[in-house]
Chain A
Amino acid sequence: MADVTLRGIRKQYGNVTVVKDLDLEVKDGEFCVFVGPSGCGKSTLLRMIAGLEEITAGALSIGGQDMTRVGPSERGVAMVFQSYALYPHMSVAENIGFGLKMTGHPKAEVAARTDKAAKMLQLEPLLKRKPGQLSGGQRQRVAIGRAIVRDPEVFLFDEPLSNLDAALRVQMRAELSGLHQELKATMIYVTHDQVEAMTMADKIVVLSSGHIEQVGSPLELYHRPANLFVAGFIGSPKMNFLKVDVRVEGEAALVTLPGGSRLSLPTEGKPISDGEMTLGIRPEHTDLITGGDAQVQASVKLAEHLGSETIFFVTLADGSEITVKADGLATQKAGDVLALGLSAKACHLFDTDGRAVINGDLTR
């Protein structure tokens, strides 16, 4: 069992707090992804779990044991670095076996485990080469091999794919997911790429400026973002936000859309007060067909025909701009006027503090 538990974890450099009293539980065997913009503290948090950064306050336990003040070598974790950090003067085989050799494992065992790891990652033909003679993807594989050979209970990945080209990244993403299913180990993965987070994670932790914005499964975050930050961060193209006026009547919040039309969202008994709020709707949930629960008029500013889909950048009656993702066969061009249908089930309402007060969940 190797669950990772963080209790009130804080990291301070002088007067600057980069990780603020953070609580988190990563279950045994879970693939947990820390995602957030650069500078949000996600890498620092990972390095604190690895033992490479000191924990200013709070408690960290791995597999039920307190590891807050334990050195990195005794935590039983393996880490894959963004820069790969391969030992340049050693061959691939030596790189993979180095940790085992240095911690006193017999030669035969080191060789056997190195071979097994190399086989798993298709590194066998490269075992005699030096890192300088490998491509980026191969180096990344060696770095992963160095981690799995130790058979750790917890894997830590620090943006491991960010130095690879797009095609290789997609391939490695699938390989890492496969590896997770095969090894069934706990994996913590840091990335700033929400697509990586969505495709690989069992659980996503969205971080911003040192605190957790939301924790949940990929689809939970997509369908029920807890605040404006998560709503804007998850999903591509970004969710559209409109400043709207809200009036509550009974069980419904009446939203006045740009252009004057009204949209009624069910409050589900939540206490909502009248006033200005932010309406959020994803580009893929705005409909070109005049249907839905409310319509708005929009003029096309720019159309991107991608074949599989069409992205429209449109201007609404009050001048606000939104993005619409439509079918690839849509023929409208810049200058055309569209009627957009909005479905109440796909709309989110955020109060002035950015907290979600209504999440229209399409899955329900």
Chain B
Amino acid sequence: MFPTPIQKSARWAQIGYKLLLPMALVLWLLPLIGVAVTSVRPAGDLAAGNYFGIPSSFAGVENYTAVFQNSPIGWYILNSFKVTIPTVIGAVALSCLTGFALAVYNFRANLLLFFMFIAGNFIPFQILMVPVRDMTLKAGMYDTTFGLVLFHVAFQTGFCTLFMRNFIKGLPFALIEAARVEGVSEWKIFTRIVLPLMRPAIAALSVLVFTFIWNDYFWATVLVQGQHAMPVTAGLYALNGQWVAAWHLVSAGSIIAALPPVLMFFLMQRHFIAGLTLGATKG
């Protein structure tokens, strides 16, 4: 068997493994640990130059309440949700439909259309910055969460379609044929047979798209200017300017901003089920 299980390797390798693994882990997480520790550091520590040492006292409660009281971070987070949730729903719903169509129906130019969806992913989005900004401006959607949602949905659907189409292609096609012979309409085949079996894919894709969009900084700054529609990623940057030296508060804000994708993952985790199609076929 390759790789050899660590329990079976030489003694020196076992000891080395047990020493190096936690070290690598800590090293890898160092930036995150740094932010987390800074977020509970009292302001005095930073003034005194204690950037990386042990905090002199625990100021977590003060820092986190200060972030909410002295900055519009609550508002920014709400904006982020207003952008992310509709985008996830829109992109996943659309790609379920497009994926079903591309996977199940054998129409002319099916593959061509599919490749177009994939090709869209290869366009570096930076070159779209000026035309997309122009377009949203002309459509009157500049500086609104709706404009951001619309753009994100359009841009994410390409990747989502690739994902969904391949997932549906992997389902046993005989299920769809069996339902057709039974007289079930195509729409009901989609909603009653294919959709329930797509649950793991929908969950995985939702988490993925949620994280993408939540962490998006580029389009948030390109398509939004005012505080009223600013998502938390761009908002954190604004905090930076407000408290030039208040790194403890910026860190606390960053930790808060990072939480929703993590929560989303745990929320969706129970839907990541392997072998949902078990028993459908001879298996």
Contact = CB atoms under 8 A, between A and B. Distances in A.
Contacts of A136: 282
Contacts of B180: 51-52, 71-73
B279 A99 contact: no
B186 to A, nearest CB: 9
Contacts of A87: 175, 178-179, 193, 280
Interface residues of A, number: 34
Contact of A103 (B178, B183, B276): B183
B174 interface: yes
Given A89-B196, A89-B197, A84 B281 contact: yes
Nearest to A99: B182
A226 B215 CA distance: 74
Interface string A161-197: 0010000000000000000000000000000000000
Which one of B177, B181, B185 has the greatest number of beta carbons of chain A within 10 Å?
B181
A159 to B, nearest CB: 11
Interface stretch (A112-120, A125-133, A235-243, A264-272): A125-133
B181 A52 contact: yes
Contacts of A130: 279
A78 B275 CA distance: 28
A130 B273 CA distance: 16
Interface string A115-148: 0000000000000001111101001000000100
Interface string B264-277: 00000000000111
Given A73-B181, A102-B188, A85 B281 contact: yes
Nearest to A149: B182
Interface string A186-224: 000000000000000000000000000000000000000
A103 B184 contact: yes
A51 B177 CA distance: 10
Contact of B178 (A81, A89, A134, A139): A81
Contacts of B196: 89
A75 B177 CA distance: 13
Contact of A83 (B181, B193, B282): B282
Contacts of B174: 81, 83-85
A130 B197 CA distance: 14
A251 B182 CA distance: 59
Interface string B160-188: 00000000000010110111111111001
B181 A133 contact: no
A86 B183 contact: no
Contacts of B281: 83-86
Contact of B183 (A50, A74, A82, A134): A74
Contacts of A103: 182-184
A136 B278 CA distance: 12
Given A88-B277, A89-B197, A163 B282 contact: yes
Given A81-B177, A83-B172, A102-B192, A88 B182 contact: no
Given A83-B174, A85-B172, A98 B279 contact: no
A87 B282 CA distance: 12
B271 to A, nearest CB: 13
Contacts of A131: 278-280
Nearest to B278: A132
Contact of B279 (A73, A78, A79, A132): A132
A50 B181 contact: yes
Contact of A85 (B178, B185, B278): B178
A77 interface: yes
A114 B201 CA distance: 32
Contacts of A51: 180-181
A163 B280 CA distance: 13
A285 interface: no
A72 B177 CA distance: 9
A150 interface: yes
Contacts of B183: 73-74, 99, 102-103, 150
A86 B176 CA distance: 10
A102 B185 contact: yes
| A-B pairs with lowest CB-CB distance, top 5 | A99-B182, A131-B279, A132-B279, A85-B174, A83-B281
6 contacts: A50-B177, A52-B180, A73-B185, A87-B179, A87-B280, A102-B184
Interface of B: 172, 174-175, 177-185, 188, 192-193, 196-197, 275-282
Given A71-B180, A85-B281, A89-B276, 18 more contacts: A51-B180, A52-B177, A72-B181, A77-B181, A83-B280, A83-B282, A84-B280, A84-B281, A85-B174, A85-B177, A87-B193, A88-B279, A98-B179, A99-B179, A102-B179, A130-B279, A131-B278, A131-B279
